Chains A and B, each alone.
Chain A
């Protein structure tokens, strides 16, 4: 099982649609979870952290299921500007510290 796995997509959705991204991770010791957004040929930027109880930021909702080692991101009322690649990011213990492992990303294309 790969450390962090995501459906590569692309997900093609119309404006206003609801879209969900899934991510699974293999290291049960992982404690920190994030969703990053990356626009084409640009740097990744933090979209939101993912907390155990689930969290919401406007149209975005992130959920974590530790038992299943599964993370999700839900985007409601999609906008054209949401078109990007969404990276699932998970920490893992490494030599006394933790480091981040990035999924390969899921591409989202929102059309008019």
Chain B
């Protein structure tokens, strides 16, 4: 089954304790992305990756890191989480977008993170 998986689905942690949210896709997509979703603010892009070893900042990258060592995996790293990073996080993948054209993105089930 074609899918994007994320782990963990739920996480409660404390300020400053490093954490990693994993994301994996089995559709051989070049493009992967992380979003956070907050009430009243909608989905905002954190980081994205066009291919292995190619990553770039989205609209809200502060406090986050990513890596893309393999095509299928795109982990999100919070080196020192803070309460303002409490949010619902989605990983997504899709075909590589062109200069003007974008394609459907497939989303993982989400990770609900609470930082106290």
Contacts and interface: CB of A to CB of B under 8 A. Distances in A.
A100 B103 CA distance: 9
A1 to B, nearest CB: 16
Contact of A98 (B41, B97, B107): B97
B42 A99 contact: no
Contacts, number: 64
Contact of A97 (B44, B50, B90): B50
Given A43-B110, A99-B48, A91 B43 contact: no
22 contacts: A31-B100, A31-B102, A32-B101, A32-B103, A41-B110, A41-B112, A42-B109, A43-B90, A43-B107, A43-B109, A91-B100, A93-B100, A97-B98, A97-B99, A98-B99, A99-B58, A100-B45, A100-B105, A102-B43, A102-B44, A104-B40, A104-B42
Interface of A: 29, 31-32, 34, 41-46, 49, 87, 91, 93, 95-100, 102-105
